[in-house]
Amino acid sequence: MKGYASLVKPYIFWMSLFIVVPMLLIVLYAFTEHGNALMAFRFTLDNFLKFFDPVFIKVLFKSLEVAIITTLFCILIGYPIAYIISNTSERIQTLLILLITLPMWINMLVRTYAWISILSDGGILNSIFEFLGLPPIKMMYTDFAVMLGMVYNFLPFMIISIYTVLAKLDKALIHASHDLGANPVQTFLRIVLPLSMPGVISGITLVFLPAVSTFVIPKFLGGGQYMLIGNLIENQFITVGEWNFGSAISLIMAMIIMGSMILTRKIDRDASDTKNVEGGKAW
């Protein structure tokens, strides 16, 4: 319409240079030998083979393990909270959502840093334990600390995702379910839970992705020796200088993430095929 469409052209150029090219570069570096790739263009799979060392595979599995457990905890804690909030009065809902989103606006580093003083050996929690006559617990630099930090950072996303769907749920459906003889528990299991799945799925996406790729939280709360994939990549680029290997690891991580997204979407679609969630949309 009257040339407004051509407004998109400059952005297409911008994206090609600043979004597409960088990604192609990562692929390029991953498949070439050490050194400035544009000069010495020699195709190789060595970078990927290097990854299949037990040390690195261990890092991969650890990252997946931590990310999955974090996601699970976020669902286990996040769903009940979202459910409770969605059933309060509108004013309280607004207040609670505000309270939950406020920490999200505070810098992630600052929020993670705060846990150091709480979890350290001489820290706040251990001081309380001492005061109560309990033995001190080592929490810093453990899996527990890292997962705690992750849940702390990502839980609000899960809560908001699920809450958004629950809040939009037509209350008449719940009335109808009661009208037809289902008690509140049956209503939850047969009506509310299935219809809230889209929120859970998008919550999983918002938690799992950063949980797999983060390196700040493991670094602060896991210590220098604690390596997840994100740390590995950072290490390769910043400290070791092995850009090719680092790129290969990034590709592997990207593949895994893409794979899990496709998997979750497939699970969602299979569920909705039998239960016709979005059946009415003209897709």
Partner 1 sequence: MVGIKKHNLTKFLIVAGVLSFFYLPILSLMVFSFNDSRSLTSWSGFSLQWYKALFENREMMTAITTTITIALISTFVATVMGTLAAIGISKSRRIIKELVLSVNSFPILNPEIVTAIGLMLLYSSLNIEKGFLTMLLAHIIFSTPYVILSVLPRLRRLDPDIAEAALDLGATPLQALWKVIVPMITPGIVSGALIAFTMSFDDFVISYFVSGNGVKNISILVYTMSKRINPTINALSTILVVIITIVLLVVNLYPFITKKELKEAE
Partner 2 sequence: MRKLIEFQNIVKSFNGSLVLKGINLSIHENEFITLLGPSGCGKTTLLRILGGFISQNEGHVYFDDIEISNVPPYKREINTVFQRYALFPHMNVFDNIAFGLRIKKQDKNTIEQKVRKMLKLVNLEGYEDRPVTLLSGGQQQRVAIARALVNEPMVLLLDEPLGALDLKLRKEMQIELKKIQQEVGITFIYVTHDQEEALTMSDTIVVMNAGEIQQIGTPTDIYNEPENRFVADFIGESNIIDGLMIEDYKVKFDDQTFECIDYGFEDNLEVDIVLRPEDIDIVPIDMGRIKGVIKSTIFKGVHFEVVVETPYREWIIHTTDKVEVDKEVGLHFFPEDIHIMYKMGSY
**Given the complex with partner 2, which of 64 and 182 has the nearer CB atom?**
182
Tracing tokens 């790729």 back to the chain, one arrives at: 213
Distances (CA, A) of 268 to 115, 141, 159: 35, 36, 19
- Distance in angstroms (rounded) separating the CA atoms of residues 27 and 222: 30
Segment near partner 1 (CB under 8 A); pick from 64-72, 136-144, 210-218, 274-282 = 210-218
Structure tokens at 89: 């009065």
Alpha helices (runs of H) in the chain, residue ranges in sequence order:
8-15, 21-30, 46-51, 54-86, 90-105, 108-119, 124-131, 143-168, 171-179, 184-187, 193-213, 216-222, 229-234, 243-275
Neighbours of 100 (CB within 10 A): 18
Reference 160, options 208, 214, 94; nearest CA is: 94
Does the protein bind partner 1 through residue 5 (CB under 8 A)? yes
Residue 186 contact, options partner 1, partner 2, none, Cβ 5-8 Å cut-off depending on partner type: partner 2
Does the protein bind partner 2 through residue 269 (CB under 8 A)? no
Structure tokens at 122: 């001489």
Please give the size of the binding site for partner 2, defined by CB under 8 A: 24
**Given the complex with partner 1, which of 124 and 275 has the nearer CB atom?**
124
Applying CB under 8 A, among 161, 177, 250, 260 the residue interacting with partner 2 is: 177
**Given the complex with partner 2, which of 135 and 181 has the nearer CB atom?**
181
Write the single-letter amino acid at 253: M
Question: At closest approach, how far in Å is the CB of 261 from partner 2?
Answer: 23
- Distance in angstroms (rounded) separating the CA atoms of residues 204 and 73: 11
Does the protein bind partner 2 through residue 173 (CB under 8 A)? yes
- Distance in angstroms (rounded) separating the CA atoms of residues 64 and 198: 23
Distances (CA, A) of 222 to 141, 155, 162, 228, 236: 4, 19, 29, 10, 18
Instruction: Tell me which residues in 11-50 interact with partner 1 (CB under 8 A).
Output: 11-12, 14-15, 18-23, 25-26, 29, 36-38
Q: What are phi and psi of 224, to 5 degrees?
A: -60, -30
Residue 182 contact, options partner 1, partner 2, none, Cβ 5-8 Å cut-off depending on partner type: partner 2
Neighbours of 144 (CB within 10 A): 14
Instruction: Tell me which residues in 75-134 interact with partner 1 (CB under 8 A).
Output: 77, 80-81, 84-85, 94, 96, 98-100, 102-103, 105-111, 113-118, 120, 122-124, 127
Residue 283 contact, options partner 1, partner 2, none, Cβ 5-8 Å cut-off depending on partner type: none
Please give the size of the binding site for partner 1, defined by CB under 8 A: 80
Using the 8-state DSSP alphabet, how is residue 43 labeled? B
Does the protein bind partner 2 through residue 89 (CB under 8 A)? no
Does the protein bind partner 2 through residue 175 (CB under 8 A)? yes
Instruction: Tell me which residues in 179-198 interact with partner 2 (CB under 8 A).
Output: 179-183, 186, 190-191, 194-195
Applying CB under 8 A, among 39, 172, 238, 283 the residue interacting with partner 2 is: 172
Q: How far is CA 39 from the centre of its chain?
A: 37
Residues that bind partner 2 (CB under 8 A): 170, 172-173, 175-183, 186, 190-191, 194-195, 272, 275-280
